[in-house]
């Protein structure tokens, strides 16, 4: 099978003074690397941290990365080191990172933090990453529902991020690609205003990744509160064709 895809990305300031998110997409043969990073604003230098993470991971991808867990963890280790190199005593910048890498046949998702990856099949969510956050722990304990994470008081308390002395262990999931798979990577400023049901409904009406992402961004802007966070996303829709 030969893989083709449409893709789109956005990264917007929202209601904040600056944009600390980064969205990235790069094609290689039938595959690609997609990433979203969200600089943690409470630590200062979030825009520098997210840029450093994405640039370092992209450079490693260009040098060649095998699709296995150890190689993907290495991307996170290198991105962590790049952020650490930018830090100083006054600015301990940090960033989340979520990525999807594929050769057109296999999909590897990996993340650290509360930026999310979604895989949609047959119009429904087939896979979703779990946030590394206090509010996600509250879901695990049965204290709140998954949807209540969106505006939970502890939602911004991230438990795993790049920029710490010890590189974070990325959660990694490998899946086989299927025809019409749709992939969405996004920062918390995006998913907090676009529920999964809306993502699915808009996907069913969209012929391309660009139309899907445009529709989700329109929905977000219509529902976002004043002063909303930066929001970024990368969307891709795969098509498998017989060789």
β 97-102/31-38 pair status: antiparallel
Asked whether residue 81 carries a pLDDT value surpassing 70, the answer given is: yes
pLDDT score recorded for residue 64:
85
Q: How far apart are CA 214 and CA 2, in angstroms?
A: 27
Q: How far apart are CA 228 and CA 199, in angstroms?
A: 19
Say if CB 233 and CB 176 are below 8 A apart: no
pLDDT in tens, 44-68: 799 999 999 999 999 999 988 878 8
**What's the mean pLDDT when you consider all of the chain?**
94
Q: How far apart are CA 161 and CA 95, in angstroms?
A: 6
Element (H, E) at 203: helix 196-205
β 97-102/124-128 pair status: unpaired
Q: How far apart are CA 71 and CA 65, in angstroms?
A: 6
Q: Biggest alpha carbon distance in the chain? A: 56
Say if CB 197 and CB 216 are below 8 A apart: no
Q: Which residues pair with 233 in a beta bridge?
A: 10, 186
Residue 2: which of 91, 127, 119, 105 has the closest Cα?
Answer: 105
Q: Would you state the structure tokens that stand for residue 243, as one six-digit string?
A: 């060789």
Asked whether residue 106 carries a pLDDT value surpassing 70, the answer given is: yes
β 231-241/182-186 pair status: antiparallel
pLDDT in tens, 181-229: 999 999 999 999 999 999 999 999 999 999 999 999 999 999 999 999 9
Q: How far apart are CA 232 and CA 13, in angstroms?
A: 9
pTM for the predicted model, two decimal places = 0.95
């Amino acid at each position: 099978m030969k893989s083709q895809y449409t893709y789109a990305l956005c990264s917007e300031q929202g209601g904040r003074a600056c944009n600390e998110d980064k969205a990235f997409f790069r094609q290689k043969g039938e595959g690609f690397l997609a990433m979203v990073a969200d600089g943690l604003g409470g630590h200062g230098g979030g825009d520098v941290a997210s840029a450093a993470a994405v640039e370092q991971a992209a450079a490693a991808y260009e040098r060649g990365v095998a699709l296995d867990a150890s190689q993907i963890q290495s991307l996170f280790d290198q991105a962590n080191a790049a952020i650490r190199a930018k830090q100083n005593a006054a600015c301990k910048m940090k960033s989340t990172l979520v990525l999807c890498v594929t050769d057109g046949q296999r999909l590897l998702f990996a993340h650290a933090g509360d930026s999310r990856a979604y895989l949609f099949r047959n119009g429904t969510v087939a896979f979703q990453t779990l946030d590394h956050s206090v509010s996600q722990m509250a879901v695990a304990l049965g204290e709140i529902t998954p949807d209540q994470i969106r505006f939970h008081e502890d939602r911004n308390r991230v438990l795993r991020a790049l920029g710490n002395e010890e590189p974070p262990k990325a959660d990694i999931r490998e899946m086989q690609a299927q025809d019409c798979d749709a992939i969405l990577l996004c920062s918390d400023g995006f998913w907090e205003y676009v529920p999964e049901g809306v993502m699915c409904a808009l996907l069913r009406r969209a012929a391309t990744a660009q139309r899907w992402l445009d529709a989700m961004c329109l929905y977000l802007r219509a529902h976002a509160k004043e002063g909303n966070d930066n929001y970024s996303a990368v969307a891709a829709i795969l098509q498998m064709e017989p060789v």
